[in-house]
Structure formats: structure tokens, C-alpha cells
Structure 1
């Protein structure tokens, strides 16, 4: 079939992992799906098998089980940014207290809730269908925790706004949150029951391995380029190709590697450390909980219980990396910060070391909207997670699948109303501004 245009999009770089995620390292080995060899055809090709790509495939299968889907994953499922996630599929926005709660901000709040609860609904549907246990999927809610007077005030203000919106929540005193976390460092807490907590690598694996024909997943199969071919697209991979009518680009910041959203995406990494197993009797409180910080860019903490003991996850530190990769030295530097935060919060665990450290990539936009929509004829983007990958990427994947198949929904209408990402300042102003902004936000977070 002859080409009908000169539309060609070539990847300028391929994804690279930033350390080995502790979520992956603590799972049993898994046999990847085979790489693509030779030529293949599909109705829809999805580039990327993270939260967005797999959610898009799942949604397509529910809208029309006859649609053939080919998913191209550059690496191994769960070992990319999705498996480096902290595992919070949240249902309520992190921040509302910075604004006066006028009509406009109430609308934004409800819009965020719709997006995030659409993600939870999809995940819940799969958890029921596949019979996932709490080791993969746990609708246990989340805590937001404070460690300073400013954090306490933020939680109090946020709780008042949740009350006005009719959202279930519970404020906790220092003693209450100590009874949960086993830490006397926290000065207050706020519990929100609607969040789902997942083991992100196990979750992504389970979604991928639960897909059936006519959905085909090809791992270790990066998309090197795609070009207009007849009435559709031809995607070239190292050892094969896929001809598809439509493409869903679900590779977050790497959409820019194909030339899309240039000058609109901020590539930011966040860092995490996971302790070795310790005797649960060394730390009081509940043996499983998950907490986000009261102030933006503070410290996320999770306690995970396993058969061999318990572990603590610490996530903190952000860096701007326009090349979409970080080196080992950056992970080591972030690890030193994590060690201090761990000791501050859990002095009873003195001597418990960190066993795994890693970084995860995010793609942010200046005006906090996704990089979404039809970006070329029959090419749909579900990118720009803006830091809530498990929630926002899942919802973007759902919405991209719906618009690709012409299905109308309230979620799709919300995405259709969103503004496009705004342009970033020219270099080097973007780099200078991004680094200063991240440093300022981390300074503002302080001990949090």
C-alpha cells in the first residue's frame, strides 16, 4: 500500500530506567511477553504499557471486544516509571486550601474528583474480576500527615473544605496518628477513605497479564518511528512493524521524543528508598498504612508488611532533568536525604538500612493540564501526568480510548474542555526557573 503523506515521527531517544525499583526487586520473577518479530496489524496501536497505555487497552476491550490492539512496551512491564510509582490511586486533589473556595475552585475540585474516581472505578473493576488480594490492590484510604505547625494548618484548612464539599474524612491528633504510624514525629493527620493503595509493579503486571485476545502485548519492543501509511499508520520497531488505523501515545514525557509537545513538558524525577525487612515488633502502630505529606513536595511514607517482616518506603526530593534520565549519583544524593527523614520519623528503627533506591520520571505542564487529545490524524495522546501518575495517567488512558473509538462520556467531556499545555519559556530560562521553583517548593516543605 503506498504512503499517502510524508508524516513521519522518529523517536530521538528511548526510555531508560533510573535504578531498580524496590517494588520490582521484591516481586518474584515473571516471564515477559515476547518481543515483536516481523509485521503485525491492529485496529489500535498503543505505545507504552504503563498506567495510561494498559488502562486504554482495558477500556477498549470493554467498549468493543472485537477491536484488535497491539501494545508496544519499550522495556519490561512494571520496570519503567509505572513500577517506580508510590502506588496511590487518589480520589481527592492534594491541594485546595491555597485558593479561596469560590465557584471556580469548587468546579476544579469536582473535575479532579471525577477524573481520579474514574481511575479508581477502572482499577476496582479489574480487582473484582481478577480477584486481586491486598498485596496488589487495597482500598484502605490514605493519610495526609503533618510534622510542623504549617502542615497542621494546611490539614485543618483542607478538612474544612472537604466538609463544605461533603467529602468523607477524619482529622487526627498527634496521638491518633502516632497510633497509626508508630511515629511520634507527626503532629496531626487527615484520613481520606476513598484512596486505593497498590503495589504499583505488581498492579501493572497483573493488568498486563490479564489482557486477552484480540489485545496483544509486545515487551522489549520500543517504537522507533511511525509514519502515515495508506489510511493508517506504520510503526517500526527494532525487529518488526505494526500497521494500525489509530495510535494512542501513552508514553508520558517521551511523547516529546517523537516531536510532540516540544517546549511544553517539564521532565521531573522524584526519588524513593525502601528499607530492608525489619521485625514488626520494633515499630508500634498499624502494620500497613500509606501517607502523603501535608505540604506539597514533602515526604511520602508507606509501611508495607510482608511474610519476612515489614518495610518502610520513603519518597522525597525532586529534580528537573530535560534529558529524561538521571544518573546513579543523583539517586545516591537523594538517598542521603531519605536516610535523614527516616531516622527523624522512626528512631526506634535505628540500624535498619535502605535496601533499594530508585527514581521515577514525571511529565508536568506549566498550567497543570494533561498533554492530551488528537495530536495528528488518528493519533491520540494520553500524556502529561502532572505528578499523580496512577490516577491521572489511568484516567487519561481511559479518555483517550473513548475518543479514539468515538465513545462519549462525562470523563471525555471533561478532557475535551481542558486547555492545551502552555508554552514554557525559552532555554535557559526554563531550566533556571524549574530548578529554582523546585528548590523553593522543597524549602517551603521544610521538615515535612
Structure 2
């Protein structure tokens, strides 16, 4: 058996988790278990894969294994944007190759459609609103990004609206931004509430074990997964645990475990809501990738999300949490001077897996082992659709979208340490310095 050297261990104060409806976690596994299918990771990708495997193989049990509690980990810690549009940061117009962009758009739209259908079918209360998103800019560099992205959207034939700074307070309350590009296709969600709801509406032939971190594994004719209280033996394994896939022996030195930091305010009072003005809920993403993502939620809180750290051991850094909350405070005060007495109630970090070439993995990793790994920050829609399509492909189905994913080259290799950490940390420092007021 090969040991898993690092286990998921997120910090405690995730605002999305604590403000979503509580649920009773499923029991952890103990003893011996044999199953046809095992899926590791009960985030968006793993939930989708387990659900679709169960539907494709209704007479077979699917075991879904989560190291922590559903909704507490990575999928419950993002900013809650289910985005439809492709966004290739390596292309001048942020769209790039039109054929790839069109295929990516189809995937994202399918992911949105799957989520919408499940929310409606199971009555999941996750503050889902198809209200679009604003991409806001303050400095000249940011405005240039918006102009470039407009040309890419024209090429892709997608609608948008340019909103000048003087008109933005009617939309988002603040006059901080010079210009924004509004695109109507984004869906906003409460991510932890959605993940909890998806877990509690799985088909009856899915067995979910929570708080069951896998500590060792063995591959062969069967896959054996060990943990402190027992062992699970499966015919087939699906890895849906993002950068932790490297800890299970695959895609070594390809995924960069990055952590992003967020804070969520207390609910605004009625007087503060009136002082802010604008629409009752909205989301803003930054023109600069190192800038701030901002949301006003349906329960009248403000989310601030910015600041990165590179955590190669995949563990949160509490000193970064303490340091970056000051960035959130400054970013909030710049945007919302009319709300001087609104404090943050929660501050947390959340991990994502990035690759140097912005590509993920979809397919077979080894005999009896499959995976969807490396989300590149698009876990809500992309994780949902790729988890679903992987289960379809395993069941023998083929279509244009599956072929597109199988043809993707996957994440490329990164330099060895210590050069990797030196390079990544220098890039993060310089990127956040250049972001200026966009942060």
C-alpha cells in the first residue's frame, strides 16, 4: 500500500458553509467494504460523476468518499459564479481559437443546465439567480482588458453591455469602477448550500461516506483504499479530488495548488441597504486576474475575494489568512465608503488547482482508474459537466463534447522545486503589485 502524505484540512470559518442551512453529515466508513465503483471527492465534480454513474449503472452501488464534510471543502469555498463564457487569459481577446471557445461555451452551458435542472427537481435552496455578471475596471490596464474582451465576445457572437462608471451605482451601488462589461449568462449561487443539496439528493444506489480521508491506496485488478477505520475495495476508481490527485500517484508536477482568500460581512441593515442602493444581488469579477471579486448576496451580505498564496503542501496558511483580511478591508473601504461600520463576520481560504497551460485532465489514468482533475478555477460549471461526461464515457457513450475533452492535452509539467516556488511566488507578488486599485 502507498501512503497518502497530505490530507485535506481547510480552515474553520468558511462563510458560505456557516450561513447555509445545516445538514446532518453522513457517517464515516468503518470496517471492510467491497463495491463496483468508488469516487474520491464529493465536490462538484465528484458529486456529478457519482450521480451519473449511478444513473448509468442503476443495479450497481457507487461509493462516494469525502475526506471532510460535504460543503465544507473546496467546492463550498469559491465565489459562487457558474460562468457560461470561455475566458482564455492567454489570448489577446480572451477568447482565442474560435473552435475551442465554441466547444468550451457548449460545455459550460451544459454544466449550467445540469445544475439548474437538479436545483429545480430537488428544490435545493442555494440562492440560485441567473442575473449575469459585471466585469469591472478602474485603471487604464483594466479598461483595455474590457475592450479586448469585447472584441472576443463579438467574434464568438455573445451578447454584452458596456456600462460607464456614472451609471454603475444604479447597478451595484458603488461608483468605484470606471467601466464595466455586463454579460447576462452567468448564474450566481451559494456554493456550499448547492453542494449540500446535491449530496442530499443523490440516487439511492450512491453510498456517501463523509469524514473519511483515504490514507493509503493500492492499484491492480482491484483498487484498495485504506483509512484509519477500515478499507474500501473497488473494481473501478474515479478521482475527482483536484490537486490531491497528485497524492494518489498521478499527474505529478502538473498542478499548482493555489489558495484564494475571501471575507463575508454581516448582513446589512435596512438603512445600510438603502445607503448602498443598486440591485438587490449582483456579482463583479475583476478585469485584472489579481483584482477583487465582489458580490452582494440575496441575504444582503458583501463578499470580498482577493489575494493568492501558493501552498505546495496543499495545507492552508493561517498567517496568510490573518494578513489578507487586511487586504479585504482596504478593498471594501475603497468600494463602499458609504458603509463604514460594516464588519466582516467570516474570513476563509479556498484551494484551486491551476496548470501552467490552463488545461485539465479528463479520462483514464491507469487500468481501473479514471479522473477529472485540475479545475483551473472553473469548478462549478466545468466540474459538473466533466464529472457527468466522464461517467457517460465510462458507460460507453461518445459525443462531440466527450471527444473534445478526450482530445485535450491535459496539464503540462512544471519546474522542480525550489525553482517552482521561487517562480510562482514571484509571479504572485508582481501580479498583485500590478493590480493596483483593481485589487
Range class of TM-score, shorter chain: over 0.9
| Corresponding residue for residue 112 of structure 2 | 120
Unaligned runs of 5+ in 1: 1-7
- State the secondary structure of the residue aligned to 1:313: strand
Match of 2:27 in 1: 34
Q: Is 1:427–2:417 an aligned residue pair?
A: yes
Q: Which residue of 2 aligns with 1:3?
A: none
Q: Is the 8 A contact 1:250 1:382 kept in 2?
A: yes
How far apart in 1 are the matches of 2:162 and 2:275?
A: 27
Residue 198 (structure 2) pairs with residue 207 (structure 1)? yes
Worse overlay, 421-430 or 155-164: 155-164
Q: CA deviation at 1:58?
A: 2.1
Aligned pair 1:49/2:42, yes or no?
yes
Q: Partners of 2:213 and 2:396 in 1: how far apart?
A: 27
1:152 alignment partner in structure 2 = 143
Matches within 5 A, 1:301-320: 301-306=294-299, 310-320=300-310
**Matched-pair contact (CA < 8 Å) for 1:273–1:358:** yes
Cα distance in 2 for partners of 1:316, 1:216 equals: 36
The match for 1:4 is none
Inter-partner Cα distance in structure 2 for 1:64 and 1:238 = 30
Structure 2: which 5+ residue stretches go unaligned? none
- Kept in 2, the 8 Å contact 1:118–1:411? The answer is no
CA RMSD of aligned residues (A): 1.8
2:437 aligned with 1:444: no
Match of 2:132 in 1: 141
Counterpart-to-counterpart distance in 2, 1:65 and 1:92: 34
**What's the TM-score, normalizing by structure 1?**
0.92
Give the Cα separation in 2 of the matches to 1:340 and 1:100.
31
User: How many Å separate the matches in 2 of 1:234 and 1:372?
Assistant: 22
Q: What SS does structure 1 have at the residue aligned with 2:131? A: coil
**Aligned residue number for residue 278 of structure 1:** 268
The structure 2 residue matched to 1:111, chosen from 99, 103, 127, is 103
CA distance in 1, matches of 2:275, 2:224: 57
Say whether the 8 Å CA contact 2:93–2:149 is kept in structure 1.
no
What is aligned with 1:91? Answer: 84
CA displacement, residues 241-297 of structure 1 (integer Å, 9 cap, x when unaligned): 222211110111111112222211111100000111222223111121111111212
- CA deviation vs aligned residue, 1:358-406 (integer Å, no higher than 9, x gap): 0001111111111332111121111111122212322331232223222
Which of 258, 273, 297 is the aligned partner of 2:248? 258
2:335 is aligned with 1:345: yes
Looking at structure 2, the residues matched to 276 and 96 of structure 1 have their Cα atoms a distance apart, in angstroms, of 34
Query: What is the match of residue 195 of structure 1?
Result: 186
- 1: CA distance between counterparts of 2:89 and 2:138? 19
Aligned length: 435
Tell me which residue corresponds to 2:287: 294
* Higher mean displacement: 257-266 or 402-411: 402-411
Q: TM-score, normalised by structure 2?
A: 0.94
Equivalent-residue separation in structure 1 for 2:421 and 2:94 (angstroms): 33
Question: How many Å separate the matches in 1 of 2:276 and 2:202?
Answer: 40
Aligned to 1:325: 315
